[in-house]
Amino acid sequence: MPLPNGVQVILAPNPSMMTGPGTNSYLVWGPGDRCVVIDPGPDDAGHLRAIATAAHGVIKAILVTHGHHDHDAGAANLRALTGAPVLAWGRAGVPATDQPLADGAVVDAGGRALRVLHTPGHRFDHLCFLLEDAGALFAGDLVAGVGTVVIIPPEGDLADYLTSLDRLLALPTLRTILPAHGPVVEDGPALLREYVAHRLMRERQVLAALASGPATIPMIVATIYADVDPALHAMAGRSVLAHLIKLEREGRVARAAGAADDGPWMLTG
Ligand SMILES: [Zn+2]
């Protein structure tokens, strides 16, 4: 799947279990031969030089999807290299922010409109950017082109995350998704629907695991992640906690009196 017209990607050299092949730093070019950068990526001198070189020194702005290191750590040094301001949700999320971006704002990418969408869930400050003339969404870590996205409490909030996915699904012009990790996703809405369905399936599994009586998170993980490498069970436990916190807020589950996050947890009513 090719990138939309006027979009370039520079892959950062930070592959890992969490980042897949590495962070995608995108350049979006307008007709005026000026570009914006979306996600400078890690603070890696070679990577930041590659971005500045590809941009021929004409960067209008450095946009950051959220304040995780693999997205924002290079922001201050890319600003020093290019003189471009850093635009993000705010300093509480991305310390290098020069100009906060409000939900619904439009960033001028050299004559093309990038719509700002505040999409919390993976992190409170998460932004997506919709390149309106192409129906292309720069999705940060809301969804991934490879692997999956983790929602880890207390930073991650599953209820917010599902609301954000629904909001993106309601965008009438959305076609492709350009994630921060992995390749372009041709059918963006189909991927969003898959993510929603997957989370709802996990929620049903968590409720089913509690149907026979109270259980701790390790017990729930052993039941519903039986087919997953045990090395990943600790991470799966954080994901189960995200579900339990959402269900607790909805009054559908409760933890035993005085119990910490691991439980035991039980169904209510
Ligand atoms: Zn992230």
In a domain, 192, yes or no: no
Q: How far is the CA of 159 from the centre of ligand 1 (A)?
A: 17
Domain coverage including residue 22: 7-186
Alpha-carbon gap, residue 20 to 143, rounded angstroms: 12
Measured in angstroms, how far is the CA atom of residue 30 from the centroid of ligand 1? Answer: 27
Residue 262 Cα to ligand 1 midpoint, Å, equals 24
> Could you tell me the CATH number of the domain that includes residue 224?
1.10.10.10
Assessment of whether the complete model's pTM goes beyond 0.75: yes
221 and 169 part of one domain: no
Q: How many whole angstroms from 139 Cα to the centroid of ligand 1?
A: 11
Clarify whether residues 68 and 148 are in a common domain. Answer: yes
Whole-angstrom distance, CA of residue 177 vs CA of residue 186: 7
- What's the 40 CA to ligand 1 centre distance in angstroms? 13
Give the Å distance between the CA of 249 and the centre of ligand 1: 24
The answer on 173 and 47 residing in a single domain is yes
Q: Work out the pLDDT band at 145, boundaries 50, 70, 90.
A: confident
| pLDDT digit string, tens, across residues 193-226 | 999 999 999 999 999 999 999 999 999 999 999 9
**pLDDT class of 186 with cuts at 50, 70, 90:** very high
Q: pLDDT value at position 33?
A: 80
Task: Specify whether 223 is located in the same domain as 102.
Answer: no
Q: What would the mean pLDDT of 177-183 be, rounded to a whole number? A: 97
Looking up residue 147, the CATH number of its domain turns out to be: 3.60.15.10
Of residues 127 and 16, more confidently modeled: 127
Domain's final residue, options 186, 207, 236: 186
Residues 209 and 114 in one domain: no
**pLDDT tens digits, one per residue of 45-85:** 999 999 999 999 789 999 999 999 999 999 999 999 999 99
In a domain, 193, yes or no: no
Listed residue (231, 229, 209) closest to 220, CA to CA: 209
Q: Are both 254 and 165 inside the same structural domain?
A: no
Q: Look at residue 67 and tell me if it is in a domain.
A: yes
Whether residue 260 is predicted with pLDDT greater than 80 in this model: the reply is: yes
Distances (CA, A) of 165 to 2, 39, 82, 89: 24, 20, 34, 18
Cα of 141 from ligand 1 centre, angstroms: 5
How much distance in Å is there from the Cα of 211 to the middle of ligand 1? 33
Measured in Å, residue 136 CA sits from the centre of ligand 1 at 20
Distance CA 246, CA 252 (A): 9
Q: How much is the pLDDT for 71?
A: 98
* Cα-to-centroid distance, 162 and ligand 1 (Å): 16
248 CA to middle of ligand 1, Å?
25
Asked whether residue 109 is assigned to any structural domain, the reply reads yes
Q: Rounded to an integer, what distance in angstroms lies between the CA atom of residue 228 and that of residue 3?
A: 33
Can you tell me the distance from the alpha carbon of 36 to that of 27, in angstroms, rounded to the nearest whole number?
6
Query: 235 and 113, same structural domain?
Result: no
| 20 lies in the same domain as 150 | yes
In a domain, 191, yes or no: no
Spatial neighbors of 214 by CB under 8 A, at least 6 apart, are 256, 263, 264, 265, 266
Distance CA 15, CA 12 (A): 8
Number of domains in the chain: 2
237 and 154 housed in the same domain: no
Query: Does a structural domain hold residue 2?
Result: no
pLDDT > 80? residue 148: no
- Cα angle 4, 7, 188; round to 5: 45
